[in-house]
Amino acid sequence: MASQAVICIRDLRVEYETPGQPPHAAVKGLNLVVNQGETFGFLGPNGAGKTTTMNVLLGFVKPTAGGATIFDVSVGNPSARQRIGYLPELTYYYKFLTAVELLRFYGRMFGLRGAEMERRIETVLNLVELQDAGRRQIKTYSKGMQQRVGLAQALINNPDLLVLDEPTSGLDPIGRMTIRAIIQRLKQEGKTVFFSSHELGEVETVCDRVCILHRGAVCAEGSIQDLTRGKENLEEVFLEVIGFKKAGESLS
Ligand SMILES: Nc1ncnc2c1ncn2[C@@H]1O[C@H](COP(=O)(O)OP(=O)(O)OP(=O)(O)O)[C@@H](O)[C@H]1O
Ligand SMILES: [Mg+2]
């Protein structure tokens, strides 16, 4: 069966305008396809253009040129967002709310009500392993727990596509492992997961394919297996393709 494209980015260019300065091109002619059921790692150094690209997918930033579709709907059309769950790079939740209250708030935005809402909240809290803490205020949560509330929020509408901007940022190894297990569970459920990360070891474990972005352009793309063939690991590939380390050269 032919794979179905979930995200399709075509010749995407994004320039930021700052008064008194020439436009800054954050994304320069990006082409990318993410297929149904794939776990796709969106990699690149700080400032490479990952968040900018995700913001285009979410409709927060308008392309300067080119564009993107999600499930064949242009990202300029708000209905493209119906089937997406999104975890932003920085999350700010009202800390006096409990996770259950926060999830009710987001659930209402997607039209959930009554028993269906409560069932869905229970499902996502179980999925992110917060079932026992769901009725405590978020201000009492550790960073790892707050990150999992963010994931629960992204999952409340039972989306087919998850866009996660650095879901494991700042987490300890156990926190990262938990998020990794959640991503793997989502994959088993047939969800498509598109996420950015600087944790290359973890990306290697969980992703089917990756794209390495550098200065707004793709410098490597493929399956982990293909990219790491003959290399020590994904980190070596990453350092080489961004020009930090030449093939075969040791850093030490
Ligand atoms: N709102 C903005 N206005 C002007 N420039 C911006 C804006 N947002 C991002 N940029 C610039 O665009 C470039 C890409 O930034 P972006 O946040 O997309 O990178 P990133 O790959 O997500 O980096 P990181 O790994 O640090 O999160 C950077 O040079 C950044 O300074
Ligand atoms: Mg970013």
Each residue's pLDDT tens digit, 7-30? 999 999 999 998 999 999 999 999
244 pLDDT more than 90: no
- Please say whether the beta carbons of 105 and 97 come within 8 A: yes
Q: What is the DSSP letter of 51?
A: H
pLDDT given for residue 171 in this prediction = 86
Each residue's pLDDT tens digit, 140-187? 999 889 999 999 999 999 999 999 999 998 888 888 898 999 999 999
Structural domains in the chain plus CATH codes? 5-241 (3.40.50.300)
Quick check: CB of 16 below 6 Å from ligand 1?
yes
56-65 contacts: CB < 8 A, separation 24 or more?
56/9, 56/12, 56/14, 56/27, 57/7, 57/9, 57/84, 57/163, 57/194, 58/84, 58/86, 58/163, 61/14, 63/12, 63/13, 63/14, 64/13, 64/14, 64/15, 64/23, 64/25, 65/11, 65/12, 65/13
110 Cα: distance to centroid of ligand 2 (angstroms): 26
Quick check: CB of 214 below 6 Å from ligand 1?
no
pLDDT given for residue 92 in this prediction = 83
247 pLDDT more than 90: no
* Ligand 1 atom showing the smallest separation from residue 52 Cα: 18
- For ligand 1, atom 26, which residue shows the shortest CA distance? 46
| Element (DSSP H or E) covering residue 219 | strand 217-223
Quick check: CB of 60 below 6 Å from ligand 1?
no
Quick check: CB of 48 below 6 Å from ligand 1?
yes
Ligand 1 mutation pick, 12, 15, 16, max ligand atoms within 8 A of CB: 16
Specify the 3-state DSSP secondary structure of 107: helix
Q: Can you give the pTM of this predicted structure? A: 0.94
pLDDT given for residue 214 in this prediction = 97
pLDDT given for residue 143 in this prediction = 87
Each residue's pLDDT tens digit, 173-222? 888 898 999 999 999 999 999 999 999 999 999 999 999 999 999 999 99
Amino acid at 180: R
Quick check: CB of 23 below 6 Å from ligand 1?
no
Each residue's pLDDT tens digit, 80-105? 888 999 999 888 888 999 999 999 99
pLDDT given for residue 7 in this prediction = 98
Contacts of 110 (CB under 8 A, 6+ apart): 156, 157
* Ligand 1 atom showing the smallest separation from residue 54 Cα: 18
- For ligand 1, atom 2, which residue shows the shortest CA distance? 16
Structure token pair of residue 68:
């993107």
2 pLDDT more than 60: no
pLDDT given for residue 251 in this prediction = 55
Average pLDDT for residues 54-67, to the nearest whole number? 96
1 pLDDT more than 60: no
18 burial type by CB count under 10 A (0-12 exposed, 13-18 middle, 19+ buried): exposed
